[in-house]
Structure 1
Amino acid sequence: MSWTTQMDAARKGIITPQMRIVADKENMALETLVQRMAQGTVIIPANRNHAHLDPEGVGLGLRTKINVNLGISKDACDMDLEMEKVRHALRLGAEAIMDLSCFGKTREFRQALIAESRAMIGTVPIYDAVGFYDKNLSDISADEFFDVVQAHVDDGVDFLTIHCGLNRLTAERIEKTQRLTSLVSRGGSLLYAWMKENNAENPFYEHYDRLLEICAQHDVTLSLGDGCRPGSLHDATDAVQVQEMIVLGELTRRAWERNVQVMIEGPGHMALNEIAANMVLEKRLCHGAPFYVLGPLVTDVAPGYDHITSAIGGAVAGAAGADFLCYVTPAEHLRLPTLDDMKEGIMAARIAAHAADIAKGIPGARDWDDKMSKARADLDWEAMFNLALDPEKARAYRESSRPAHEDSCTMCGKMCAVRTMKRLKEGKDIRLDD
């Protein structure tokens, strides 16, 4: 029996190789995975043209995944450096990489990225269109936008961020709502400007069926972008954000009718006490589709530390139902991230994702922590290093300040509580004077 997309296969009861891999990774029964994929609550972004993909599932009951943004721009067009970031991100455990390239040899970079990466790849085609055509935004035609989408799909991109929910009705709401930061989505602002300058509907909304047809060709997941996401605490959960989410819910059902996999992109900045309610709102309005969030950043006053504000929000969001976290680096709002910035962002996002998995009761998540606790109780430093999220950093910290006694560290020395209790259990003397 033939199938077109992973969702189509699931609905026909066909087990694909990607499903078997994901079920094994997640320790989930194949029957459960297939059922959730058929319903749209789990996706496996896997373009048929991405030959070396190591597939991952995103959605209900699965581990919280993280994404890393990178790419070339007019101010930073060093392809070699960006490819080094790709390799760095893969070593650090990122499950997805989004290529946000918008200038220069974008297709060359994208093809090299897809050829090298076993992680799933996402793109935002409208960024590429502006750079590729090298003409005024308002002069780009709807057909030209779709030609770029087709190129990305043909190259092997696994998921596409398209801001389809920013239609004329949503645009009117923007003009009536008193936002502090208006639109902060790059793709959303570009489409809004195109619509205003051409006095036309969003081409991706108006010709949505055409977009779905392209996605179905090679089984590309549609990541419905949040062009109206809040860029400040002041703007969170306002009428503009909610209006767009309502439209995204309608578009989700239309995609499912064509067997196109969908995830929904979510808020950027949001007070801590609003996050859980937003997760429930998205799941209700978008029919349980996987939720992909940027942050949320829980305060606006920490430039240079936004990987921390994002990790706090990401942990709360994940625990409340978010499925996929987009990393944020210390350079957010300030500059293009360096390799060191990227590492800080990835580790912060991975910590948030794992904390969320513990709260959600994902099978095996708590076991990892219990193994670390056992290693600490045993003062087994090598086991601690091997279990650490970042073994290299943990080992370097200990080596930088060696204790007088190997069964302690330089924080407490022989007064270490763990050392004391371990020696008592072993029937050894507790001596602090030698």
Structure 2
Amino acid sequence: MMFRKSFAALLLTLSSSVDGFVPRSMMASSPSTLGVATDPIKSEELVTKEANIKSTRRTKPTLDPLNPEFERIQLVRHLRSTGYNPKEGIPKLRKEWIAEREGKFERYTQMHFAKKGMITEEMLFVAEREGVEPEFVRSEIARGRAIICSNKKHLELEPQIIGRMFKVKINSNIGNSAITSSIEEEVEKLQWSTLWGADTLMDLSTGKHIHETREWILRNSPIPVGTVPIYQALEKVDGIAEDLNWEVFRQTLIEQAEQGVDYWTIHAGVLLPYVPMTVNRLTGIVSRGGSIHAKWNIFHHKENFAYEHWDDILDICAQYDIALSIGDGLRPGSIYDANDEAQFAELKTQGELTRRAWEKDVQVMNEGPGHVPLHKIPENMRNQLEWCNEAPFYTLGPLTTDVAPGYDHITSAIGAANIGALGTAMLCYVTPKEHLGLPNRDDVKAGIIAYKIAAHAADLAKGLPGAQDRDNALSKARFEFRWNDQFNLSLDPVTARAFHDETLDSEASKTSHFCSMCGPKFCSMKITEDVRQYAAENGYGVEEEAIQKGMQEMSEKYKEMGNKLYLDDMENVVNPLADLSP
């Protein structure tokens, strides 16, 4: 059974990444604790729901589970010719799902449904996407170890699950600023992000027209969209942090909830007593949201209003099914400040806020650093699991060194792969423009690809069923010199093909048994192929036997030539492998 994209994503080709998903028949065996699909006996209601889920998908085109990036590129080319209009938005996949549940429950959250033993359409959708049993999805959500960010107002959404027992997800940040970028550019960044495989997206707009920009993004996004509400609240008070108050913040939350925002980053853990802990830091407070709250706390000498009104925030979330990404406003902005008192004090408060959210059936993930050297990363993961009761961890990198401006997508992807392998559920991408400026579409792509690599490497390390299938398929294509298959199986087919075309751009070169690195005479894989061919032609069962036989023949030839190391006439010497080259 192969995962087929919904009509919504196919129309826009802005699908969430499904790389690593494989047909159940191909899936490796694994412990039952991973919830791998085994097709148990299901209730009539569940069977009906699954049938309805399948009926929402088009039969063509499909996304090949082993090369979704290539398929998305093909779909883009097709749909550009159909005259797609982003102003009209994409079809509302969840319209009937939401209508069926509306008004029937005290709280409207996936956690609430999961605790009641319900398997929702959203759970079924992600179960097929992940290749696991729906019941396993439900149980992970019920215990808080996984979340589905799915505001009931975001009808266009294709559900995505975030949890350490599932594939590592990546988040892409976009957003305008007071200096540059337009609404159209931000929608294009959304399309570009989802094309290359972003699983979620955060709109971090801080300039004008925040509401309108977000509306366009939500109506065209098949992936979960998050925001940092304090940014818009600050705009409402003309950028003066001291003038913020709970009422302005509450109105902003309701406004965004009605639009369909799926998750919020709220820095409720930046408490008044923690602010002085940052005084001796090398880089102070580097989080925008964290610095806004810290400034408000100090100016009024009052506790963080988001912390004080946490229960009110939870009530809003429970009404719309908005997940909370509890912000790390005191994250370290340099490796010098990593794992300090302020960072971990806030993390403990995140744990308190997480447990309070679960009491009201609100889904939560915890945000993490930041700038952390490799040897300090494990401590972050251990503390988060212990203090936050295994809620999903969502980290910005972390960046493992501070010396590479312009290359921080690399410095952070190193840390991201490391912490992802240890259990982080989602990674927030970093672009080459980090610390330098607002990223453009090329920067967005570079950041996403770097983080797709990190996330996939983490999935391999975690041993998720089917995670290695794509690697194996590409390696086989590489060994067999199937160049087009290599390109299509890669995370970035466009760049892979372009690099090959730089030196071997003819169509004939796409079937050649060498590349420009080693050429036709020194390709190790070609030499191995020659050995295997020689073995087959001479009736040898294994390569070792062929090698030994070849060595014996050459030894006999050496004796025939008089046991001489150097010969005057080389033309009469026959190498049994010499004629096998192209």
* TM-score relative to the length of structure 1: 0.97
Q: Distance in 1 between matches of 2:253 and 2:339?
A: 30
Partner of 2:533: 426
Identical pairs, percent: 45
Query: CA offsets per residue over residues 182-224 of structure 1, 9 Å max, x none?
Result: 1000000001001111222111001110010111111000000
> Is 1:34 aligned with 2:138?
yes
- Cα distance, 1:426 vs structure 2: 2.6
For 2:488, which of 365, 381, 386 is the aligned residue? 386
Q: Secondary structure at the match of 2:432?
A: coil
For 2:503, which of 398, 401, 419 is the aligned residue? 401
Superposed counterparts of 1:173-184, under 5 Å = 173-175=277-279, 178-184=280-286
For 2:168, which of 64, 67, 70 is the aligned residue? 64
**Please, which runs of 5 or more residues in structure 2 have no aligned partner?**
1-103, 538-576
Q: Secondary structure at the match of 1:36?
A: helix
Deviates more, 1:39-48 or 1:126-135: 126-135
Partner of 2:46: none
Contact kept, 8 Å, 1:41 with 1:60, in 2: the verdict is yes
Query: CA offsets per residue over residues 355-374 of structure 1, 9 Å max, x none?
Result: 00000111211111111111
Q: Secondary structure at the match of 1:52?
A: coil
Q: Distance in 1 between matches of 2:308 and 2:150?
A: 26
- Inter-CA distance 189–431: structure 2 relative to 1 (3 Å threshold): farther
Q: Distance in 1 between matches of 2:373 and 2:513?
A: 43
Q: Distance in 2 between matches of 1:234 and 1:308?
A: 19
Partner of 2:152: 48
Q: Secondary structure at the match of 1:413?
A: coil
> Is 1:76 aligned with 2:76?
no
Contact kept, 8 Å, 1:77 with 1:104, in 2: the verdict is no
For 2:516, which of 410, 415, 427 is the aligned residue? 410
- Cα distance, 1:145 vs structure 2: 1.1
- Cα distance, 1:76 vs structure 2: 1.1
Q: Distance in 2 between matches of 1:395 and 1:174?
A: 48
Deviates more, 1:18-27 or 1:76-85: 76-85
Q: Distance in 2 between matches of 1:9 and 1:409?
A: 55
- Cα distance, 1:383 vs structure 2: 1.4
Output the amino acid matched with 1:253.
R
Q: Secondary structure at the match of 1:104?
A: coil
Query: CA offsets per residue over residues 252-286 of structure 1, 9 Å max, x none?
Result: 00000000000000010001111122111111110
Partner of 1:186: 288
Q: Distance in 2 between matches of 1:229 and 1:168?
A: 15
Q: Distance in 2 between matches of 1:430 and 1:278?
A: 57
Contact kept, 8 Å, 2:237 with 2:243, in 1: the verdict is no
Q: Distance in 1 between matches of 2:473 and 2:173?
A: 32
- Cα distance, 1:154 vs structure 2: 1.2
Partner of 2:315: 213
Q: Distance in 1 between matches of 2:495 and 2:239?
A: 47
Query: CA offsets per residue over residues 56-111 of structure 1, 9 Å max, x none?
Result: 10012100000111111111142212211111101101011100011210000001
Q: Distance in 1 between matches of 2:313 and 2:581?
A: 74
- Cα distance, 1:173 vs structure 2: 3.0
Output the amino acid matched with 2:207.
F
> Is 1:101 aligned with 2:208?
no
**Please, which runs of 5 or more residues in structure 1 have no aligned partner?**
none
Q: Distance in 1 between matches of 2:578 and 2:490?
A: 29
Q: Distance in 1 between matches of 2:487 and 2:226?
A: 32
For 1:359, which of 461, 476, 485 is the aligned residue? 461
Q: Secondary structure at the match of 1:365?
A: coil
Superposed counterparts of 1:108-257, under 5 Å = 108-175=212-279, 178-257=280-359
Output the amino acid matched with 2:440.
T
Deviates more, 1:233-242 or 1:164-173: 164-173
Deviates more, 1:73-82 or 1:60-69: 73-82
- Cα distance, 1:150 vs structure 2: 1.3
Query: CA offsets per residue over residues 131-155 of structure 1, 9 Å max, x none?
Result: 2332522112211011111111111
Q: Distance in 2 between matches of 1:266 and 1:35?
A: 25
Q: Distance in 2 between matches of 1:68 and 1:22?
A: 20
- Cα distance, 1:171 vs structure 2: 2.3
- Inter-CA distance 319–368: structure 2 relative to 1 (3 Å threshold): same
Q: Distance in 1 between matches of 2:226 and 2:374?
A: 28
Partner of 1:368: 470
Q: Distance in 2 between matches of 1:133 and 1:214?
A: 22
Contact kept, 8 Å, 1:104 with 1:132, in 2: the verdict is no
- Inter-CA distance 119–433: structure 2 relative to 1 (3 Å threshold): closer
Partner of 2:108: 4
Q: Secondary structure at the match of 2:468?
A: helix
State the Cα RMSD in Å: 1.5
- Cα distance, 1:378 vs structure 2: 1.1
Contact kept, 8 Å, 2:530 with 2:581, in 1: the verdict is no
Q: Distance in 2 between matches of 1:102 and 1:207?
A: 24
- Cα distance, 1:27 vs structure 2: 1.1
Contact kept, 8 Å, 2:163 with 2:425, in 1: the verdict is yes
- Cα distance, 1:379 vs structure 2: 1.2
- Cα distance, 1:422 vs structure 2: 1.6
Output the amino acid matched with 2:274.
T
Output the amino acid matched with 1:71.
G
Ranges of 4+ aligned residues in structure 1 off by more than 4 Å: 428-434
Q: Secondary structure at the match of 1:61?
A: coil
